């Protein structure tokens, strides 16, 4: 049995600045054996190369065990969340491609670029309304959360009136810190599943717009997707599509609020945003870890011996801060090029929404700082806190005032 390394992945210090923790773990080796909240005992990669190897070798490192069971959840959890977990991100080939192909088209570069003017208009509107309920305004709840949610709801074809429900569910998920807190969230999860089942039924009977209608069309053709998989797909797109981008936007806005010179540099030429967003993706690392993988056979991972049946998670934030991948990774350099990061993962599960997330973040930054050039934090940066949700780097609140 490998030597076990203790590490607190939910400490405020690790969320505030993961660099020291990452360096400490990397000093042990390219993969360390540790205990991760909810998941339990697991290998964690600490370098870019080790993470890329695991994510790209999807035959050796799989999302399911031999019998098809999910990896890395307490035995009772799949029974509770049941069908909601049967999405492409928890599937190996060939089921993964079968499901991903159904929605792939909608997330292609061309399709996403077509959406850009609309995304920009939503961002402008949200920026305009920022202080409508008073000042200071919480940029996380009033801005960073609202844009990705609006976009994914429209893409799916969910009514705008239902968005407050998703916000409540998303906020409750932020309190998922361990297996016990999960039990408290089950009620919300069931409500969400029922809601999605109802929306699918409406689309079957009345038709409609967006990806829900597309799923129904594919279902009618027969053989490619089951009703449970349709719900799981919507559940995944809703969560993956809104949560992560929210934290990317909040994290980027926080960095720019801390450093007016950077903000002015960006505002002087907004065509720099694409490059800047790439660096924010690396530096903010909203998704700190990939999903856990199951080791199919004994394997040497960059000199570390993993055994068949072990579990391994790639530490994306460590890959992003690896000096072997980028020079001076500890520096936020908005002009960094090339920029080698794994914030969207890699391999067959490479993020489906990467183009969308990039465009949303670019539009969000431009709209916010164009409308409010003097925007300021209403508190000291040291008073900003992170939620202690394992694996996700999410700022709890960003109170801001309009400034001069």
What is the contact surface with ligand HEM in residues (CB under 6 A)? Answer: 55, 88-89, 100, 152, 236-237, 240-241, 244-245, 248, 286-287, 290-291, 316, 343-345, 349, 351-353, 356-357
Provide the 8-state DSSP code for 3: P
Partners of residue 42 on adjacent β-strands:
34
Long-range contacts of residues 9-18, Cβ cutoff 8 Å, at least 24 apart: 9/36, 9/37, 9/288, 9/390, 9/391, 10/37, 10/177, 10/388, 10/389, 10/390, 12/385, 12/386, 12/388, 15/386, 15/387, 15/388, 15/393, 16/386, 18/285, 18/288, 18/317, 18/318, 18/321, 18/393
For ligand HEM, give the closer residue by CB, 26 or 358. Answer: 358
For ligand HEM, give the closer residue by CB, 132 or 193. Answer: 193
Q: How far is the CB of 32 from ligand HEM (least distance, A)?
A: 18
Q: How far is the CB of 280 from ligand HEM (least distance, A)?
A: 9
For ligand HEM, give the closer residue by CB, 63 or 306. Answer: 63
Q: How far is the CB of 205 from ligand HEM (least distance, A)?
A: 25
Provide the 8-state DSSP code for 162: G
For ligand HEM, give the closer residue by CB, 215 or 240. Answer: 240
Q: How far is the CB of 96 from ligand HEM (least distance, A)?
A: 6
For ligand HEM, give the closer residue by CB, 147 or 257. Answer: 147
For ligand HEM, give the closer residue by CB, 235 or 369. Answer: 235
Other C-beta atoms within 10 Å of 171: how many?
14
Q: How far is the CB of 131 from ligand HEM (least distance, A)?
A: 26
For ligand HEM, give the closer residue by CB, 63 or 130. Answer: 63
Nearest to 137 by CA among 257, 14, 47, 21: 257
Sequential DSSP letters for 303-372: TEEE-TT-EEE-BHHHHHT-TTTSSSTTS--TT-SS----TT--GGG--TTHHHHHHHHHHHHHHHHHH-
For ligand HEM, give the closer residue by CB, 9 or 344. Answer: 344
Q: How far is the CB of 285 from ligand HEM (least distance, A)?
A: 8
CA distance 329 to 238: 32
CA 312 to chain centroid:
19
Nearest to 129 by CA among 115, 150, 112, 114: 150
Structure tokens of 362? 């670019």
Nearest to 196 by CA among 218, 166, 161, 219: 166
Q: How far is the CB of 182 from ligand HEM (least distance, A)?
A: 19
CA 139 to chain centroid:
18
């Amino acid at each position: 049995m490998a030597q076990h390394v203790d590490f607190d992945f939910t400490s405020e210090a690790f969320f505030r600045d993961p660099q020291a923790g990452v360096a400490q773990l990397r000093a042990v080796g390219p993969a360390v054996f540790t205990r991760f909240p909810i998941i339990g005992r697991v290998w964690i990669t600490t370098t870019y190369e080790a993470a890329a190897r695991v994510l790209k070798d999807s035959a050796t490192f799989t999302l399911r065990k031999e019998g098809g069971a999910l990896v890395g959840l307490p035995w009772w959890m799949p029974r509770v969340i049941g069908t909601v977990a049967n999405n492409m991100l928890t599937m190996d080939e060939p089921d993964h491609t079968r499901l991903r192909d159904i929605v792939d088209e909608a997330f292609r570069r061309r399709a996403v670029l077509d959406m850009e003017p609309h995304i920009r208009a939503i961002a402008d509107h949200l920026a305009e309304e920022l202080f409508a309920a008073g000042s200071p305004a919480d940029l996380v709840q009033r801005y960073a959360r609202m844009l990705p949610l609006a976009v994914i709801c429209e893409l799916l074809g969910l009514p705008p009136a239902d968005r407050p429900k998703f916000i409540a569910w998303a906020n409750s998920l932020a309190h998922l810190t361990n297996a016990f807190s999960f039990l408290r969230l089950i009620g919300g999860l069931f409500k969400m599943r029922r809601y999605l089942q109802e929306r699918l039924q409406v689309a079957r009977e009345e038709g409609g717009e967006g990806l829900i209608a597309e799923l129904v069309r594919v279902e009618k053709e027969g053989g490619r997707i089951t009703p449970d998989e349709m719900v799981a797909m919507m559940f995944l797109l809703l969560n993956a599509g809104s949560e992560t981008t929210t934290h990317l936007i909040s994290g980027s806005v926080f960095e720019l609020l801390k450093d007016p010179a950077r903000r002015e540099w960006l505002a002087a030429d907004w065509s720099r945003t694409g490059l800047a967003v790439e660096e924010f993706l690396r530096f903010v690392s909203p998704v700190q870890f990939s999903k856990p993988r199951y080791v199919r056979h004994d394997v040497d991972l960059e000199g570390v011996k993993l055994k068949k049946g072990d579990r391994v998670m790639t530490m994306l934030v460590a890959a992003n801060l690896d000096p072997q991948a980028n020079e001076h990774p500890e520096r936020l350099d908005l002009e960094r090029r090339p920029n080698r990061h794994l914030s969207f993962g890699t391999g067959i599960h490479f993020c489906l929404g990467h183009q969308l997330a990039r465009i949303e973040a670019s539009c969000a930054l431009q709209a916010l700082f164009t409308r409010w050039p003097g925007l300021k934090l209403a508190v000291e940066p040291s008073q900003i806190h992170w939620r202690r949700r394992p694996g996700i780097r999410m700022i709890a609140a960003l109170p801001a005032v309009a400034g001069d």
